[in-house]
Structure 1
Amino acid sequence: METFTSEEGYVLLRLDRGDLALECIREAVEEHDIDTGIVVSGLGTFSTLNIHYVDRTDLPEEQADRNVTLELEGSWEVTNIQGLVADGDPHLHATAFDGERTVAGHLEEGCEVNVLGEVAIKRLDDVPLTRVPNEHDVSQLTHR
C-alpha cells in the first residue's frame, strides 16, 4: 500500500496485489490521523471477498443473529467501496461482481487485493462523530 495526500484533505490509497483492503484502509486512517471522514471512492479487484449483510427485518437481541456472512474466493471486480469514518473507525460497504453474480454488504477483514485497489478518503475535521449503540444495540452516528 502507498498513500498520497492533497491540500484539500484527501488521502488516496493505492492497494497492491496481496494487500488486505480493510486492514490497509484502517492503517491509512491511523497513519493520517483521520478522526472523521468519508470514503468517497473505492474500486479494484479482490481474490477474496468477505462481507456481511442483514437478512431480516426484526431486531434480535444478538447482533450476530442479524447478519449473513459471505466469504468468497475467485476474481471479484469491486465496483464500489464507500462509507464513513467516525472516531477513527471505518464503516464501509462494498459492491462486487464475479462475472455471474453481484453481491453487496459490509466490508470485512481479509479481502485480498488481486490486481489493484484504489481508495479515496476525504477528511472532515469540522464534524467530530462517533457511533453509539441505540436501544436495539445498533451503532448510530452521533456528534461527539
Structure 2
Amino acid sequence: MKAFHLSSSSSQDVLILNFYPGELLLETIISYLKENKIKNSCVISGIGTLKRLSFHRVLTTEEKPKNEYITLEGPFELSSTQGLIINYEPHLHFVASDLRNTYSGHLEYNSQVLYLAEFTLLILDSKNHNLVRKLKENNISFIEEV
C-alpha cells in the first residue's frame, strides 16, 4: 500500500491510501493507522476491484439484530465505501457488484484487492476527544466519548 498524507489549509488532514494487488483492505488500513497513531478517521471514499469480498448484513428487524456473514470470490467492482473508524475499529458500509449481482452491507476483514483500490480518509482530531465504541444491551456498539 502507498499512502499520501495531505495537509489542508484547515485543521483537517486527508489521507489517500492506494492498495496493491493481493492486499487485505481492512487489515492494511488498520495496520497503517496503528503505525501512524491515527485512532479516528472517516472513510469518505473507497473504490477499486476485489478478488474476495467479505461482509455481513442484517437479517431481521428485531431489537437484537441477527447477522449473516458472507465471503465471496470475485471479481468485484467496489463502487462505494464509507464509514467511520473509531479507536481503530472500522464500521464501513459498501456497495460492490460482480457480473450478475450487487452486494451491500458492512465490509469485513479478509476482503482482498484484485488490481487496485483507492481509499480517502479524513483524519478526525482525537487530541481533544477520546472516542470509543461501547456495546449496548441490544448488542449494538455506539460511539461515546470517555
What letter is aligned with 2:140? Answer: V
2:37 to 11, 33, 52: 33
Aligned alpha-carbon RMSD (Å): 1.4
Query: Following TM superposition, by how much is the alpha carbon of 1:128 offset from its aligned partner in structure 2, in angstroms?
Result: 3.4
1:137 to partner: Cα distance: 2.0
* Correspondence list, 1:1-144, <5 A: 1-8=1-8, 9-60=13-64, 66-125=66-125, 126-144=128-146
Runs of 4+ in 1 over 6 A off after TM superposition: none
Q: Is the 8 A contact 1:20 1:109 kept in 2?
A: yes
Partner secondary structure for residue 62 of structure 2: coil
| 3-state SS, counterpart of residue 34 of structure 2 | helix
The answer for unaligned runs of 5 or more in structure 1 is: none
**TM-score, length basis structure 2:** 0.89
Q: Deviations over 1:97-117 (max 9, x none)?
A: 102110011111111111100
In 1, the alpha carbon distance for the partners of 2:139 and 2:70 equals 22
Show structure 2 runs of 5+ residues with no match: none
How many residue pairs match? The answer is: 140
Counterpart amino acid of residue 59 in structure 1: E
- Shift of the alpha carbon at 1:127? 4.5
